[in-house]
C-alpha cells in the first residue's frame, strides 16, 4: 500500500490489479487498473495513475466548478452526482484514453502545430487586431490536429498545461462544434476553479479544420465574439493564411525520427521548460504498429472517436509511454533527483536528461555505446535549435 498526495494505492499481486482511491473535499474517486508490467513497476504505475485521477477530478470540476460542487455536497451529502454529469461521459472517456497514450500528460506539456514563426505571428496579429477592442476577453486559442496553432491571453493571465489539455479534450470530444458555433460555460480549474469562463467555440471555415475558442468573463458577449470570428476568418482567407494553416495541418504527423539520420536513435521526446511545449515524432519501427490516431493528429472534423479509443489501448504504445514515464519518474523522484539517467535494456537503451532549459527522453537501439549516445544527443539538440522557431510558439501574444 502506497499513499501519494491524496491518493491511496493498493497492489493485488494475485490478479495484477492496481486499486486507486483518491479523496478530495467533495469526491471519492475509485478505480482499478490492470497492470501489464512486472510488480517492480508498481511505483511507476502509481504515479501515472495518480496523474489520471487528477485529470478526471479536474474534468469534473471543469464541468461543474468547485464552488458548485462544494455547495451541493454541503446541502446534500448523498447527492447523486451522475445527474449533473450526464452527457459529459464522453469527455471523461476520451480523457482516459488520451492519458494512456500521450506523454504530454506525464510531462505537463502540449504540442504546437509546426509553422514558421512569421506565419504564426501573422495569424496571431490578425486575431489580436480583431479582438483588441473587446473588453473582458481573457483567452483566444486556435487549435488544429490536437495542437496549438496560436494562443493569445490577457496580460498577467496565463493557462497551465492541464487547462490546455482540458480544452483540447473538449474540442476532440464534442461533435457539435463541427457543425455550429457554440456558446458554452467552461471552468478551467488551474486558472479559476470557482467559476466559469464563457467560451465561443467554432471552426474557422468549412474548408479549414482549425477550431477557435474565445473565452470571456462576460456571458453576454456571444454576438460580439461571433462577429469577431467572422472578421478573423475573412482576414485570414484574404492573406492566404487559411492555406498556411491547412498546409500545417496536413503535415502535422509528418515528423519521424528516421528523417534526422541520427544513428541508433529510435524515438525521442523533448520538452522546452520555458514554454511547456513538446516535440514528439510519430512512431516507427519497431513501434509503428500504432494507429496514427493515437496522437490525435487526424482531421479534427472527421476523426472517429471509436478509432481513437481502440488505438489508445494498443499495448506497444502503452509500453513506449511506460518507458518515457519511467525515465521521467527516475529523474524527478523527490528522494533523489537526477540530471541524467541511462539504462541499457535487452530490447532498447533508455536515456533521460534534464537541464534548466529542457527535458529530453530518448530510446536507442540496445547495443549503442555511451559515447555514441552522447554524439546522438548533441546532433539532436543542434537540429532542435535549428527548428525551434517552427516547432515551438516562442513569442508571447497578448490581447
Which CATH number covers residue 293? 3.30.450
Q: Tell me the three state secondary structure of residue 282.
A: strand
- Which residues of the chain form beta strands (DSSP E)? 2-4, 7-12, 17-23, 28-34, 110-111, 137-144, 147-153, 182-186, 197-205, 208-216, 265-272, 277-279, 340-344, 349-354, 358-364, 397-398
User: Which residues in the chain show pLDDT less than 50?
Assistant: 1-19, 21-23, 39-40, 290-313
Q: Identify the pLDDT of residue 41.
A: 52
Q: Identify the pLDDT of residue 287.
A: 84
3-state helix, strand, coil in the chain (%, to 5): 45, 25, 30
Inside any domain, residue 318: yes
Same domain? For 234 and 265 the reply is: no
Between CA 398 and CA 152 the distance in angstroms is 5
Q: Give residue 211's Cα distance to chain centre.
A: 16
Inside any domain, residue 327: yes
CA distances (Å), 81 to each of 34, 60, 76, 88, 265, in order?
26, 10, 11, 12, 48
Q: Identify the pLDDT of residue 82.
A: 80
Domain total in the chain: 3
Per-residue pLDDT of 140-177, as tens digits, reads 999 999 999 999 999 999 999 999 999 999 999 887 78
Write down the pTM of the prediction: 0.86
375 CB neighbour count, 10 Å cutoff: 15
Residue 262 DSSP code: -
Instruction: Give me the CATH number covering residue 175.
Output: 3.30.450.30
Inside any domain, residue 106: no
Q: Which three cell numbers stand for residue 317?
A: 504504445
* Residue where one domain finishes, among candidates 228, 251, 274: 251
Same domain? For 233 and 137 the reply is: yes
Q: Identify the pLDDT of residue 321.
A: 84
Residue span of the structural domain in which 261 resides: 257-391
Inside any domain, residue 125: yes
Dihedral sign from CA coordinates of 52, 56, 62, 67:
negative
Between CA 325 and CA 106 the distance in angstroms is 7
Q: Identify the pLDDT of residue 24.
A: 55
Same domain? For 246 and 262 the reply is: no
Same domain? For 124 and 13 the reply is: no
Half-sphere exposure of 16 (CA within 13 A, CB side): 8
Amino acid at each position: 500500500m502506497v499513499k501519494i498526495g491524496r491518493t491511496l494505492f493498493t497492489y493485488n499481486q494475485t490478479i495484477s490489479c492496481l486499486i486507486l482511491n483518491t479523496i478530495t473535499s467533495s469526491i471519492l474517486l475509485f478505480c482499478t487498473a490492470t497492470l501489464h508490467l512486472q510488480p517492480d513497476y508498481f511505483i511507476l504505475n502509481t504515479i501515472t495513475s495518480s496523474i489520471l485521477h487528477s485529470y478526471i477530478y479536474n474534468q469534473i470540476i471543469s464541468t461543474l466548478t468547485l464552488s458548485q460542487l462544494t455547495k451541493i455536497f454541503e446541502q446534500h451529502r448523498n447527492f447523486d452526482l451522475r445527474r449533473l454529469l450526464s452527457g459529459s461521459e464522453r469527455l471523461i472517456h476520451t480523457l482516459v484514453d488520451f492519458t494512456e497514450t500521450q506523454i504530454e500528460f506525464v510531462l505537463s506539456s502540449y504540442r504546437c502545430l509546426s509553422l514558421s514563426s512569421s506565419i504564426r505571428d501573422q495569424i496571431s496579429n490578425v486575431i489580436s487586431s480583431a479582438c483588441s477592442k473587446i473588453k473582458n476577453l481573457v483567452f483566444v486559442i486556435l487549435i488544429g490536429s490536437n495542437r496549438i496553432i496560436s494562443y493569445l491571453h490577457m496580460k498577467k493571465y496565463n493557462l497551465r498545461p492541464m487547462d490546455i489539455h482540458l480544452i483540447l479534450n473538449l474540442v476532440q470530444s464534442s461533435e457539435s462544434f463541427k457543425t455550429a458555433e457554440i456558446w458554452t460555460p467552461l471552468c478551467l480549474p488551474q486558472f479559476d476553479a470557482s467559476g466559469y469562463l464563457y467560451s465561443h467555440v467554432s471552426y474557422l471555415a468549412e474548408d479549414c479544420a482549425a477550431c477557435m475558442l474565445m473565452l470571456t468573463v462576460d456571458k453576454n458577449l456571444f454576438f460580439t465574439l461571433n462577429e469577431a470570428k467572422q472578421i478573423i476568418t475573412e482576414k485570414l482567407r484574404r492573406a492566404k493564411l487559411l492555406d498556411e494553416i491547412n498546409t500545417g495541418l496536413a503535415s502535422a504527423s509528418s515528423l519521424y525520427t528516421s528523417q534526422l539520420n541520427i544513428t541508433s536513435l529510435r524515438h525521442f521526446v523533448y520538452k522546452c521548460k520555458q514554454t511547456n511545449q513538446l516535440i514528439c515524432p510519430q512512431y516507427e519501427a519497431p513501434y509503428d504498429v500504432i494507429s496514427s490516431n493515437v496522437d490525435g493528429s487526424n482531421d479534427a472534423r472527421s476523426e472517429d472517436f471509436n478509432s481513437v479509443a481502440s488505438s489508445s489501448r494498443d499495448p506497444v504504445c502503452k509500453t513506449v509511454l511506460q518507458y518515457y514515464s519511467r525515465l521521467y519518474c527516475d529523474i524527478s523522484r523527490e528522494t533523489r533527483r537526477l540530471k541524467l539517467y541511462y539504462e541499457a535494456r535487452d530490447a532498447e537503451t533508455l536515456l533521460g536528461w534534464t537541464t534548466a532549459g529542457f527535458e529530453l527522453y530518448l530510446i536507442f537501439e540496445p547495443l549503442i555505446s555511451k559515447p555514441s549516445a552522447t554524439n546522438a544527443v548533441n546532433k539532436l539538440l543542434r537540429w532542435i535549435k535549428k527548428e525551434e522557431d517552427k516547432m515551438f510558439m516562442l513569442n508571447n501574444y497578448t490581447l
